[in-house]
Structure 1
Amino acid sequence: MDLAGLTAIDVHTHAEVSSRGGTSLDDALHEASSAYFKIDSAARRPTLQEMAAYYRERKMAAVVFTVDAEHATGNAPVPNEEVAEAAAANPDVLIPFASIDPFKGRAGVRQARRLVEQYGVKGFKFHPSIQGFFPDDRLAYGLYEAIEELGAIALFHTGQTGIGAGLPGGGGIRLKYSDPMRVDDVAVDFPDMKIILAHPSFPWQDAALSVATHKRGVHIDLSGWSPKYFPPQLVKYANSLLQDKVLFGSDYPVISPDRWLADFAALPMKDEVRPKILKDNAARLLGLVADTARPAS
């Protein structure tokens, strides 16, 4: 990967369709979230090769993953192996993460090890609200042990989700599972595991800032929202105490990096902070450069 030639690293993008035709969400959840984000649901399912071309055209790299919530939804995810193989075929722009349903137990732990050791996966995406578990539930601790030992990253969805929004009962998805404070125990119990709290964590933004400020290994990505809607305290912390721990993420394909970057340009960010958020912090966290910074602890 030509890091110097990249304008940005997007740490949060979704593989929503498999080359075999499978999708990560069933039709009801897909349509509801498309309506929530006000996007064309038909145009929302780029293939992995199309994603690679999209980011290559923009001189950006992208972390890409599926969401495995098969226990709760009955829907099989886009295969992690397919995501990793697409990244291996496009190493200049795609960085592979995986997702493993915590309810898979020891089989999930074995899968995690194989994905890192044989497929070069760099991290794991958890979506507690869709997967139906609290991050500090001991059922996930075997996975965390493997992730920490392997030097991989754990990325947790936090805050409200557009998945299920507007459906009766939110499509059965419970927001309570994605309170970022439930990641605090995880950060204590796995102090060497690198963690990303995904999204502005509405309605728990202050909790996310508190955990990220207090726990050295915890970072925040800014995906899922247009920057023009960021809470003021998030902008303040990103511009100061957490400037080495905040990461650009779009949530593509529901939010395009073009839209995100245009709105980010209008934020009152310090000139020296912008490149950290857009690329430098992610490059360090992903191991693309040596870790010489000491984030706030």
Structure 2
Amino acid sequence: MDVDDLVAIDVHTHAEISRSGHGSLSPELFGASEEYFRSHGHRRPSIDEMADYYRERRMAAVVFTVDAEHATGHPRISNEEVAESCAEHADVLIPFASVDPWKGRSGVREARRLVAEHGVRGFKFHPSIQAFSPNDPMAYPLYEAIEEAGVPALFHTGQTGIGAGVPGGGGIRMKHADPMLVDDVAVDFPELHIILAHPSFPWQDEALAVATHKPHVHIDLSGWSPKYFPPQLVHYANSLLQDKVLFGSDYPVITPDRWMADFDQLEMKPHVRPKILKDNAAKLLGLA
């Protein structure tokens, strides 16, 4: 990967469909997400198509799925498939994995194997969908393995479009996405690099406090158009957290084209823009 030639690094994109056509979520939850993001009928690109898309834009992208088999009963997309597909496009794609923390010791073994044998560069958690609190000791052996591997853990925070409007929210409890729960993880695993994904509505101030207080906690800006960012998030990104904020889109529900166009309209300091778009991610992911 020629980092110098890249315009940006998108740290938050989803592999929504496998080679065989299997979706990462159930049709009910996919439908709720499309309604929430007003992305009705959007195509679910293959990883090969994602590579072409990002290559055309001279961008790199972190790619992952979500393993929530315990809570949803829906089979995941294989982490190995994601890693192997990304390896075929190593000039633009960076593989993350997702391991359901409810899998216990088998999940820990899988995480270690994915890093050692498949070149996985980080791990994605979605506590609301996976039905666990980030500070539950049940997940700690998995965090320990990730910390030992020296790769980051990315946690969904704040409200989610998945399950929105479905009776009972599809069983998804938003309380698990409070960034203050991840603060405990940052204390108990002080060398673990953490990414708080998304503007963390309704806990934006909490996310900013955690990222300011804990040296290895970052924030990605995915899932929202920048024109809707809370003022305090823009202020901190422009000042205290300028070295810890990362570009993320949430592709394919939000495209980098739309995100970048709206980001151009924000009043950001000129020297901060390249940090958010590429430099901070390159450093965090060991690409710089």
Same fold (TM over 0.5): yes
Task: Say which SS state the counterpart of residue 281 (structure 1) adopts.
Answer: helix
Q: Output the amino acid matched with 2:244.
A: K
1:159 paired residue number: 158
Task: Say which SS state the counterpart of residue 193 (structure 1) adopts.
Answer: coil
Deviations 1:127-170 (CA, angstroms, capped at 9, x unpaired): 00000000000010000000000001100000000000111111
Question: CA shift at 1:44, angstroms?
Answer: 3.2
2:12 paired residue number: 12
1:30 paired residue number: 30
2:186 paired residue number: 187
1:73 paired residue number: 72
2:39 paired residue number: 39
2:96 paired residue number: 97
Question: CA shift at 1:108, angstroms?
Answer: 0.1
Within a 5 Å distance, the mapping from 1:226-265 to structure 2 comes to: 226-265=225-264
Question: CA shift at 1:120, angstroms?
Answer: 0.4
Which of structure 1's runs of 4+ aligned residues deviate more than 2 A? Answer: none
Question: CA shift at 1:241, angstroms?
Answer: 0.0
Question: CA shift at 1:40, angstroms?
Answer: 2.8
Q: Output the amino acid matched with 1:25.
A: L
How far apart, CA to CA, are the structure 1 residues paired with 2:11 and 2:90?
Answer: 15
Task: Tell me the TM-score normalised to structure 1 length.
Answer: 0.96
Within a 5 Å distance, the mapping from 1:57-72 to structure 2 comes to: 57-72=56-71
How many percent identity over aligned positions? 74
How far apart, CA to CA, are the structure 1 residues paired with 2:21 and 2:7?
Answer: 32
Q: Output the amino acid matched with 2:89.
A: N
How far apart, CA to CA, are the structure 1 residues paired with 2:188 and 2:166?
Answer: 36
2:82 paired residue number: 83
2:124 paired residue number: 125
Deviations 1:190-245 (CA, angstroms, capped at 9, x unpaired): 01010000000000000000000000000000000000000000000000000000
How far apart, CA to CA, are the structure 2 residues paired with 1:115 and 1:153?
Answer: 14
Q: Is the 8 A contact 1:11 1:62 kept in 2?
A: yes
How far apart, CA to CA, are the structure 2 residues paired with 1:194 and 1:234?
Answer: 20
Unaligned 5+ runs, structure 2: none
How far apart, CA to CA, are the structure 2 residues paired with 1:82 and 1:125?
Answer: 15
Task: Say which SS state the counterpart of residue 98 (structure 1) adopts.
Answer: coil
Q: Output the amino acid matched with 2:23.
A: T
Q: Output the amino acid matched with 2:176.
A: Y
1:140 paired residue number: 139
Task: Say which SS state the counterpart of residue 44 (structure 1) adopts.
Answer: coil
Q: CA RMSD in A?
A: 0.5
How far apart, CA to CA, are the structure 2 residues paired with 1:69 and 1:267?
Answer: 35
Q: Is the 8 A contact 1:44 1:254 kept in 2?
A: no
How far apart, CA to CA, are the structure 2 residues paired with 1:66 and 1:10?
Answer: 15
Task: Say which SS state the counterpart of residue 111 (structure 2) adopts.
Answer: helix
Q: Are 2:191 and 1:223 aligned? A: no
How far apart, CA to CA, are the structure 1 residues paired with 2:189 and 2:86?
Answer: 28
Question: CA shift at 1:78, angstroms?
Answer: 1.1
2:209 paired residue number: 210
Question: CA shift at 1:76, angstroms?
Answer: 1.0
Question: CA shift at 1:185, angstroms?
Answer: 0.8
How far apart, CA to CA, are the structure 2 residues paired with 1:92 and 1:9?
Answer: 12
Task: Tell me the TM-score normalised to structure 2 length.
Answer: 0.99
Question: CA shift at 1:22, angstroms?
Answer: 1.1
1:285 paired residue number: 284
Q: Output the amino acid matched with 2:255.
A: S
Task: Say which SS state the counterpart of residue 96 (structure 2) adopts.
Answer: strand
Deviations 1:260-279 (CA, angstroms, capped at 9, x unpaired): 00000000000000000000
Matched residue count: 288
